[in-house]
Structure 1
Amino acid sequence: MGLFIVYATGLLIGVALIALSYLLKNLDDKKRNLFTVVIGILTVIGGLIVGGFEGMPISIIGIGILTVSILLLVAGNNPMIRNVVLALVVLVPLAVFMYAGIDKLYGNNFTVAAKNENLDPYLKKYYDQLQTNTNIQGFKRFEPNDDEKEIVLSLGEEKKGNNIEVASIEKQGDRTLINIRTFENHSTERNPTIIILLDKLGKNVVVKDADGTVYDEVK
C-alpha cells in the first residue's frame, strides 16, 4: 500500500502541474504535456541519483507525474476527454488515500522503537542479549498488557551490516503478517535488530522478508 500511496501522490502532483501550466497563457496543450513530462523525468532521475530505498519514492512520484502526461497525450486535444482523464486521475488517488486512512484506523497500527536507554527494561535486556548472543535469529513477541504488543526481530550475525525496515503489516484472520525489507547499510549492530510496537497482534505471527526469507519465532 505504501508504494501505491506514493504513486497516487505523483498523480496528484502531475494534475497540479497541469493546472499550474494554465497560468502560463502562451502554452498550448502539447507544451503543457511537455512541461509535465520534463518535471516527471527530472523527478525520476533525482530519485535514481539519491538511490536505494530513499530514492525509490522520489522516482515513483516521477512515474506518477509521467502517467498524467501520457494519459493526456492519449486524450489528445479533445477538451471533454482531457477533463474526464484529469477527473479520474484525481479521484483514483483520493480513493487510495481514503482506503489507506480506513486501513490505518481499523488495521494494524505500528511504530518502530528507537533502540536507546528509553526502552522498557525487558526490551532493553533482550536487545542487549541479542547483541551479545549474535547467533539468535528470528522474532520474539512480547505482550506486557492488552494495549501493548511488541515484536523484536534479529537477523543474526551472518547479516551483520544490514538494516531492517517494515514494508507492511497485514491482518489475515487470526494471523498477523509482518513484511520487512533488509538491506546493506553499514549498520554497526553486531546482530541487526528491529523493535516493532503494535496495538494488536494475531494469535499467529509470520515475519517475511522481501527476499522470501520467513523467520522463525524465538522461544
Structure 2
Amino acid sequence: MNYLNLFLAAGILAGIGCYAMTYYISKLISPLYRSLMVGGAAVMLLLASIALIGGWDGIPFGFMAIGIGIVSVLLALTIRFPFIKRIGLVLLAGWAGLLLVTPLLAGETNYWVLDKQGTDGYTDSSLSSEYDALQRNASVRGYSIHTISEGNPAIVLSLGEVMKGSNLEVVNVENENNRTTITVRSFANGSSEANPTIMIGLNELKEEIIVTDTDGTRYPKLD
C-alpha cells in the first residue's frame, strides 16, 4: 500500500474529528458553517504543507489536507440530507479505518535502519566490511542482500559517488503478494561519505525485491 494512503485516511478521520469539535464549540452553528470550518482546516493544512514544510516532507500533510477536504465536501453536499450525511460519515470513517489497518492485516514488513558504525549491536562484521568496501569503491550503485547476526535479512543500498554529499532515509517498506518494495528518499545534507549508503534490517524479504527512490529511481541489484 502506498504510504500516502495512510495520510489520506488520517486526514479523513481528522476531518470527522474537526466536524465533531464544532458541536463541542457550539450546537447552534449551522450545517453550512460547520462544513466551512472543516474546509478551512483543510485549506490551512494544505497551505502549511506547501509554504511552511514544502518539498517531499510536505506531501504527506497535503494528502491529510485532501482527506479533511473530502469530509468538508461531503458535509456541504448533504446539508439538506442529514440521514445521508450520517451514512456518508460512517462509510468514510470505515473506509479510512480499513486503509489504516490493512497494512497490519497484510503483514506489512517491519524494518529498522542499521547503524553503519555498529554501535547499536545490529551491524555485524560482514556488514561493516561491506560498508568499508563501498566507501573505497565509491562508483558502486545499487543494493545487495545480506543476513545479519540475528538471522534477519538486510539490504545495503549505495547511491554511488555521483550522489556524494547526500543522505538516505527509508520512506516505506511493504510486502504485497510475493514482492517486497522498499522506498527510500535521497536528499542533500552535506554528508561526508564518499559513497552514500544505508543499511536496512527487515523481518523478512519476499522473492521479488524492488528498491526505489521517491523520485522514481529504481536501484539495481548488485552481483
1:81 aligns with 2:97: no
1:85 Cα deviation from its structure 2 partner:
1.3
Query: How many aligned positions are there?
Result: 217
Paired residue for 1:217?
Answer: 221
Q: Provide the TM-score with structure 1 as the length reference.
A: 0.88
Paired residue for 2:30?
Answer: 28
- Does structure 1 retain, via aligned residues, the 8 Å contact 2:124–2:148? no
Following the alignment from structure 1 to structure 2, what is the Cα–Cα distance between the partners of residues 4 and 204? 23
Cα shift readout 1:147-173 (whole Å, capped 9, x = no counterpart): 311110001011123333334434466
Residue of 20, 37, 40 corresponding to 1:38: 40
Paired residue for 2:101?
Answer: 98
1:165 aligns with 2:163: no
Following the alignment from structure 2 to structure 1, what is the Cα–Cα distance between the partners of residues 176 and 67? 30
Following the alignment from structure 2 to structure 1, what is the Cα–Cα distance between the partners of residues 111 and 96? 23
Q: Quick one: which amino acid aligns to residue 131 of structure 1?
A: Q
Alpha-carbon distance change, 59 to 177 in structure 1, aligned in 2, over 3 angstroms? closer
Q: Quick one: which amino acid aligns to residue 112 of structure 1?
A: V
What does 1:1-219 correspond to in 2, within 5 Å?
A: 1-23=2-24, 24-48=26-50, 49-103=52-106, 106-118=107-119, 119-144=123-148, 147-171=151-175, 175-219=179-223
Q: Provide the TM-score with structure 2 as the length reference.
A: 0.86
Alpha-carbon distance change, 204 to 67 in structure 1, aligned in 2, over 3 angstroms? closer
Cα shift readout 1:105-153 (whole Å, capped 9, x = no counterpart): x243222223334232222222222223211111111124683111100
Following the alignment from structure 2 to structure 1, what is the Cα–Cα distance between the partners of residues 44 and 138? 44
List gaps (5 residues or longer) in structure 1. Answer: none
List gaps (5 residues or longer) in structure 2. Answer: none
Q: Quick one: which amino acid aligns to residue 83 of structure 1?
A: R
Percent of counterpart pairs with the same letter?
32
Q: Which moved more, 1:159-168 or 1:128-137?
A: 159-168
Following the alignment from structure 2 to structure 1, what is the Cα–Cα distance between the partners of residues 147 and 115? 18
Following the alignment from structure 1 to structure 2, what is the Cα–Cα distance between the partners of residues 188 and 56? 28
Q: Quick one: which amino acid aligns to residue 21 of structure 2?
A: L
**RMSD, aligned α-carbons:** 2.2
Q: Quick one: which amino acid aligns to residue 81 of structure 1?
A: I
- Does structure 1 retain, via aligned residues, the 8 Å contact 2:124–2:149? no
1:183 Cα deviation from its structure 2 partner:
3.5
Alpha-carbon distance change, 52 to 114 in structure 1, aligned in 2, over 3 angstroms? farther
Alpha-carbon distance change, 204 to 98 in structure 1, aligned in 2, over 3 angstroms? closer
- Does structure 2 retain, via aligned residues, the 8 Å contact 1:147–1:199? no
